[in-house]
Amino acid sequence: MPGLAQQAPAPAAAASAPTSKGPTQLEAVTITGIRGALEQSLNVKRNADSHIDVISAEDIGKMPDKNVADSLARVPGVTISSASANEGGFDENDRVSMRGTNPSLTQTLINGHVVSSGDWFVLNQTGLVGRSVSYSLLPSELVSRVEVHKSSQAYLPEGGVAGYVDIITRKPLDFRKSLTLEASLGVVHATLPKKTDPQLNALGAWKNEANTAGVMLQVFSEKRHLRRDGQEILGYNRIAPDSPIVVGTGGAPGTVTGPHPDLANVWYPTLIGSALFEQERKREGGLLDIQIKPTDRLTLDLSLFSSKMEAGNYNRNFMLWPGSFIGGANQAPDPGYVVRNETLVSASFANAGGGRNYGVYDQISRPDESSDSNFINFDGKLRVSDALTVSTKIGTSKGNGNTPTQDVAEWNVPDTGASYVLNGINSAANWSLPAGNPASPAGMPLGWIFGDQNIKVKDKDSWAQIDADYALDAGPLTLLKFGARMQDHTRKSENVIGQGPLAAAFDPANWPQGFLNYPGNFGSGLGGAFPRNVWYYTPEQLAAFNANFTNRDPVSRRNWNSEYALDEKNSAAYVQGNLEGKGWSGNVGLRLVKTRERVTNNVAVDATTPGAITTSAFGPFLPVTTEHTYNDVLPSANLKLELRKDLVARFAVSKTMTRPDYSALAAPISLTPPPVGVAEGTGTGGNPDLKPVRSTNFDANVEWYFAPRALVSAGVFYMNLTSYIGFGQVTRNFMTFSQQNPQGVSIPYVLTVPVNSKGKVKGIELAAETPVLGNFGVGANYTYADGEESGGGPLVGTSKHTYNLSAYYEDDRFNARIAYNFRSKFYSGLDRNTAFSQDDIDSVSASLGYKITDNFSVTFDAHNLNNPKLKYFALNEDQPRSIYQNGRQYYLTARVKF
């Protein structure tokens, strides 16, 4: 629904909404409380010419949720996820997407401009790297309102294929009083880690009596602990038809082989692990806004924002290793195994001895992982005449994702035998290493030490734009909007160090002494029977071990596989006409966009290749730069019909575009030259020749405002993704040097890489909200989305069913809210060369508030009350990938304002 809203600008100012004649000031009313915020949201929505939903703010820190992404989930057509890629979800939602697409196709803006963002998790820094913004860096206390644009207009910056989310912050001249002071002090308690942490937010705003100058400062400092209990199944492999397991010959010594023809091409899990993740998050930053209005015609605004999240964490995963004894040693299962859905779902393996590894154990500490985002933006607005208004926007934004250190040890678990039973997606698998003891490190030799160091991913945007509104009296044409925009965007990862062990690391005399064990209640809510009382070294022990017994030389250990670079210089110009007649209004426009793209991929080459960098232990490589220029013509049209006083119909059509994900373009390229006598080689990696993602969108909606603060709406949408990003094969020629071709020869390689494909999404949106018996109110919405890639495969991010139910009560002193959110399963992409999908997920949140005085109140918020399980699977539900539980979170907050 358009918004269980809050945190409206403190002013008694009226809400304004874009109309065909430009922003129109509504009748001034004082907006307070849940009901007032809902009314403000519906007023903006009702008066807009385009299809827009709005979440308004009621008071500092009083979003219906503690996270902006959670609040956006209440909007029909919007979906949220608690992971940015395939790392598995946590207890805080982090990404926002629209209408059955992945988050990279939704543009997030702050006050109408882009914002650079970093990711704290290492695999999202250098692995699957998308263009979406991390909402974990955006505290809800900053928000005045959030506008969700479902239909495009020419004046909006390109980049939102599915739509736009524009987060509007508060401004000092919006406040009612000359001096406003607000603060909130609270605590958060997380049930799984059993930790209670402080939360602090404060705001000070001043403006002069003439309302011509003002300054506002908001600061925040929020700390909390996370613990995630999980079982992870890290991919599936197939038993080859010519494997000794199938044909019965050629197995390793001591191996039980076939023949087992029924196991040909059967999938088996490569790793099944007991995964404990613990983290301490500390988010600090603030927003400074300075406004000057020296004349009625001129307004100047300077805003500065900074947010940093320290996200140190410790991830442990004690794993059964079928990839070693099935895939590596070709050991067949003992009699009695079960195959279902072309998957080996139940099997036991006798101990073959000889040091064969049936298990492996990774301990990975990242003590100083972090992400940050900041911007400086200057807005100027000049009313040149009664007809002409000119505005400018100049700024820069930087985002960083940092993993300076990974302290790692990987231990082998030999000579234990193994067994497992997969229990589908609703319960963890049963598995064991029968002759092993997971509670102690005894008998577990060091296998390896890995882990990238010195990861500093830098994301930067700079922009300058000028916009003009010219009022006309030319029949239905009432306003002409036109403007231009320049943007320079860079993203890079460089000088990454991939550590490796020194010889002395394998000497048991140098291993840490003493150990701890997993918490006694680890995995108690996951089901299944698997190792839970697992030993581990402390982060401090790992840090000391790695510091003394690893090679972190920046030259010899340069891991070029984690490096990439991309530079985009984008320019755009637009013209838009706003139209109005009796009972109707709308706009039509055209945006022209040029993208100049420069991508650098590291390519694996032979050491004799001219220019090759040969000093890395990860092999010789050559940075290869590819440049392209793309031009896009993006028309748009919106029509609003006032069918009667309380009934509005909307229709929209547009072309939209965005650029491909960073890893899709710039990931390293691995090449396998062809054997002698074979014409073509093979390879994998990124594809710098990808064209932008493009779509033609259609939208229709009917809205019935049958009472104050009440709405029933129904709509349909269709997205024709004429250029989408899927996986496929392309042929590219590379100069190949070898002993046979010392002078080099151009050889075609068939590359399995991201490719441009096609897709479509069609859907229905239904929403309703209404007050009940004065102080009560209810709301509900439902979205159906049907998306598929050309060829019939699923689109990333498409949930067929999403719905929300909510209810509130509010009187002069007390308020209460409860909300339920459901999202059906969706495909998330490829992970470790197999499919990765998330199963149905739902959540329950609630809030209670009491206003003790007009200046002092307390609230109690509860999140994930149903303690949801996050469940993932591969090709089908007989191939579980992961199951996690993060526990519940409770917030108690006191607020004061003057």
Q: What pLDDT digit, counting tens, does each position of 274-307 carry?
A: 999 999 999 999 999 999 999 999 999 999 999 9
Q: What is the pLDDT of residue 7?
A: 32
Instruction: Please say if the pLDDT value at position 646 is more than 90.
Output: yes
Q: What is the pLDDT of residue 774?
A: 82
pLDDT in tens, 696-740: 999 999 999 999 889 999 999 999 999 999 989 999 999 988 877
The structure tokens listed for 49 are 């010419």
Q: What is the pLDDT of residue 40?
A: 80
Give me the chain's average pLDDT, please: 91
Instruction: Please say if the pLDDT value at position 368 is more than 80.
Output: yes
- Residue of 178, 195, 176, 198 whose CA lies nearest to 186: 198
Q: What is the pLDDT of residue 2?
A: 34
b/e burial code for range 723-757 (CB count within 10 A of at least 16 → b): bbbbeeebebebebbbeeeeeeeebebebebbbbb
Q: What is the pLDDT of residue 1?
A: 35
DSSP 571-589: EEEEEEEEEEETTEEEEEE
Note the residue count of the chain.
Answer: 898
Instruction: Please say if the pLDDT value at position 844 is more than 90.
Output: yes
Instruction: Please say if the pLDDT value at position 638 is more than 50.
Output: yes
Instruction: Please say if the pLDDT value at position 46 is more than 90.
Output: no
pLDDT in tens, 737-786: 887 788 888 999 999 999 999 999 999 999 999 999 889 999 999 999 99
The structure tokens listed for 533 are 């009382």
8 Å CB contact between 175 and 181: no
Instruction: Please say if the pLDDT value at position 32 is more than 90.
Output: no
Instruction: Please say if the pLDDT value at position 65 is more than 70.
Output: no
Query: Residue 143: pLDDT band by 50, 70, 90 thresholds?
Result: confident
Instruction: Please say if the pLDDT value at position 312 is more than 50.
Output: yes
CA dist 168 and 147 (Å) reads: 8
Tell me the whole-structure pTM to 2 decimals: 0.92
8 Å CB contact between 106 and 164: yes
Average pLDDT in the 469-477 region? 93
pLDDT in tens, 245-258: 999 876 666 666 77
Query: Residue 29: pLDDT band by 50, 70, 90 thresholds?
Result: very low
- Residue of 235, 438, 348 whose CA lies nearest to 882: 235
Q: Please, which residues have CB within 8 angstroms of residue 335's CB and are 6 or more apart in sequence?
A: none
- Indicate the helix (H) or strand (E) that contains 701: strand 693-704
Q: What is the pLDDT of residue 511?
A: 97
Instruction: Please say if the pLDDT value at position 20 is more than 60.
Output: no
- Indicate the helix (H) or strand (E) that contains 177: none
- Residue of 528, 539, 504, 522 whose CA lies nearest to 439: 522
Residue type at position 240:
A
- The helix/strand/coil state of 281 is strand
Average pLDDT in the 541-548 region? 98
Strands 163-169 and 106-110: parallel
Residue type at position 29:
V
Burial of 644 (0-12, 13-18, 19+ CB in 10 A): exposed
Instruction: Please say if the pLDDT value at position 540 is more than 90.
Output: yes
pLDDT in tens, 661-688: 999 999 999 999 988 778 899 999 999 9
Sign of the Cα torsion 366, 546, 456, 726 reads negative
Query: Residue 43: pLDDT band by 50, 70, 90 thresholds?
Result: confident
CA dist 416 and 322 (Å) reads: 12
Please state which CATH class domain 16-235+270-312+367-406+451-499+552-897 belongs to: mainly beta
The 10 Å Cβ neighbour count of residue 509 is: 5
pLDDT in tens, 183-231: 999 999 999 999 999 999 999 999 999 999 999 999 999 999 999 999 9
Average pLDDT in the 425-445 region? 97
